[in-house]
Amino acid sequence: MKQLFNTLLTLITFNFIACADNSSNNKIASIPEASGISYCEDTKTLIVANDEGSFYELTSSGKILSEHKLGKYDLEGVVCEKERLMFAVEEGAILEVNRKTLKKKELKLKGKKFKLSKKAGIEGIAKSGDLYYLSIQAKKKKDSKLLIVKAGVNYAKVVEVIEHGIIDSAGLEFHEQKFYVLSDKKDKLYIYDLKREKILKKIKLPKFAQEGVTFDNNGFVYFADDDGAVFKYSKKDMKIK
């Protein structure tokens, strides 16, 4: 019996180490409380936001190029544009930051009614056309919503609210005409049809604290991990087409 117990213990330990090694193989950078990530098309770099009001610029291999403190903001997502960065602020705003000067402007969310609380704040952000999509991260399906926002010079107006029912929606991204919603609680990446308001596919993810997702143009997907990391996987390995 003792020998059997030792054998089982060895197998469990081996499997645990193997899983840990697998995760470490995909880790490309350590970023404290990484909460959002976006791929910059022009510079082929990654922008990573964190909960402490800072953002980092990284190469696709994970080398940190720069770090900037923006202030006392709980940044929960980011979109990289040609001239500016647009951050999702948990309390209900978009923070616009000029990429060259770092001059910033906070755009408070206004418009159609939506409810935010300490348990259901703004978490992810993505952009399609001239509209921004922000997720309300919530533990209950009825509170899990998507805000469609039009940003002006001095405002961010909510023009539509979609009840997608994906709990703990922590990250959003548009890629190759598909809309992705990341759920930390479920460890899943959803492909969501905005027109039909329907989940098309569920992609199972490794267990970690997923807070943001983005794609590059070379077949790779990146995740921001709230426990302090950035992970990189091939779309093929993740079974993402």
Residue 239 lies in a domain: no
pLDDT for position 71: 96
Residue 173 lies in a domain: yes
Residue 241 lies in a domain: no
CATH number at residue 128: 2.120.10.30
Q: How far apart are CA 122 and CA 111, in angstroms?
A: 15
Judge whether residue 7 has pLDDT over 50.
Answer: no
Q: How far apart are CA 223 and CA 35, in angstroms?
A: 9
Q: What's the CA angle centered on 203, arms 171 and 177, to 5 degrees?
A: 65
> Total domain count for the chain?
1
Q: How far apart are CA 165 and CA 155, in angstroms?
A: 27
Residue 240 lies in a domain: no
Give the residue with greater pLDDT, 1 vs 59: 59
Average pLDDT over residues 44-52: 97
Residue 166 lies in a domain: yes
When pLDDT is cut at 50, 70 and 90, the band that residue 23 belongs to is low
16 by DSSP, 3-state: which?
helix
Structure tokens at 230: 């950035």
Residue with token string 């039909």 = 196
Residue 85 lies in a domain: yes
pLDDT for position 118: 67
pLDDT for position 100: 97
Give the residue with greater pLDDT, 200 vs 137: 200
The pTM for the full model equals 0.88
Average pLDDT over residues 43-70: 97
User: How confident is the model over 110-145, as pLDDT tens digits?
Assistant: 987 777 766 778 989 999 999 999 999 888 888 889
For 170, half-sphere exposure in the C-beta direction (CA atoms, 13 angstrom radius) is 27
Q: In what order do the strands lie in the sheet with 64-69?
A: 34-40, 45-50, 54-58, 64-69
Question: Which of 43, 151, 31, 175 is CA-nearest to residue 87?
Answer: 151
User: How confident is the model over 84-110, as pLDDT tens digits?
Assistant: 999 999 999 999 999 999 999 999 999
Structure tokens at 196: 């039909």
Judge whether residue 224 has pLDDT over 70.
Answer: yes
Residues contacting 118, CB < 8 A, separation 6+: none
pLDDT for position 9: 42
Q: How far apart are CA 84 and CA 81, in angstroms?
A: 5
Residue 89 lies in a domain: yes
Structure tokens at 128: 């399609």
Structure tokens at 100: 């060259």
Residue-range definition of the domain harbouring residue 185:
2-234
Cross-strand pairs, 224: 212, 230
Residue with token string 């997907």 = 221
DSSP code for 142: G
Judge whether residue 231 has pLDDT over 50.
Answer: yes
Count the Cβ atoms, other than its own, within 10 Å of residue 128.
13
Q: In what order do the strands lie in the sheet with 122-128?
A: 75-80, 84-89, 93-98, 104-111, 156-162, 145-151, 131-136, 122-128
Residue 101 lies in a domain: yes
Q: How far apart are CA 205 and CA 23, in angstroms?
A: 11
